[in-house]
Amino acid sequence: MGGRHHCYDDYGRHGVAIIEAGPPGNATMAITKLWTVEDIERLPDDDDRYALIRGTLYRMPPTKPRHGRITNLIGRLVGDFVAAHDLGAVYDQSGFILQRDPDVLLAPDLAFVQRDRVPADEDIYPALAPDLVIEVISRSQTGPSIAEKIALYLAAGVRLVWAIDPERRTVRVCRPGAADRVLTDAETLTGEDVLPGFRIEAGRLFA
């Protein structure tokens, strides 16, 4: 369940609030301070993952093994293809600034950025919308809903989103200004114009 925490943070400010992620849409609270990307950069390293949506900070626990296995599989497939064709860079749970004032910082399970758009400084969060975002949906999905994140990705300029659902064995393909397509096991997932030539049977992701 969601929870509310009012505390003194490392900078002596009172009223900082973190939403402990529960089921999507289940956490509602009054935020007394809007978090920024700079605030997140000063948080101590831990095993939790964070999402910042319009100044609200969500803290999420580590993913479960099936989520990690499928993420690793699609990461290898896409990463090998990108490397073989020198297309750009693939990132694993790396943060991207999608909006400022209020700030939106999301770290998709996987993201692809074309070669001419790869950040010059990869030691900071780039103000950049990846070309492709891949999210693996967990049965115990916590924090912001996948629908909310997809909407934020597309609004920021992400050209292609794959939402992989192991429970339903489907892949939802989302693009700006187009109707979503849902692929089942025997259908072919392609990189379209974002990863030209990439093709895989959707069912291979769930083996």
Does residue 82 sit within a domain? yes
Residues 120 and 165 grouped into a single domain:
yes
Residues 80 and 168 grouped into a single domain:
yes
- Predicted model pTM: 0.84
Residues 96 and 31 grouped into a single domain:
no
Angle at alpha carbon of residue 56, lines to 54 and 58, rounded to 5°:
125
Choice among 81-95, 97-111, 133-147 with the minimum mean pLDDT = 133-147
Residues 20 and 118 grouped into a single domain:
no
Number of domains observed in the structure of the chain? 2
Residues 148 and 187 grouped into a single domain:
yes
- Characterize the bridge pairing of strands 195-201 and 188-191: antiparallel
Residue 147 has pLDDT above 70, yes or no: yes
Residue 145 has pLDDT above 80, yes or no: yes
pLDDT at 32: 54
Any bridge partners for residue 126, and if so which? none
Residue 13 has pLDDT above 50, yes or no: no
Whichever domain contains 69, its CATH number is 3.90.1570.10
Average pLDDT over residues 99-124: 97
Does residue 25 sit within a domain? yes
pLDDT at 29: 41
Q: What sign has the CA pseudo-torsion 33, 7, 61, 109?
A: positive
Average pLDDT over residues 94-121: 97
Residues 73 and 141 grouped into a single domain:
yes
Does residue 2 sit within a domain? no
pLDDT at 61: 83
Tens of pLDDT, residues 148-200 = 999 999 999 999 999 999 999 999 999 999 999 999 999 999 999 999 999 99
Residue 111 belongs to what domain range?
Answer: 65-206
Does residue 173 sit within a domain? yes
Choice among 18-27, 68-77, 176-185 with the minimum mean pLDDT = 18-27
Residues 40 and 119 grouped into a single domain:
no
Residue 87 has pLDDT above 80, yes or no: yes
pLDDT at 152: 98
Does residue 121 sit within a domain? yes
Does residue 120 sit within a domain? yes
Better-predicted residue by pLDDT, 103 or 27: 103
Does residue 1 sit within a domain? no
Q: What is the chain's mean pLDDT, rounded?
A: 86
Residues 161 and 78 grouped into a single domain:
yes
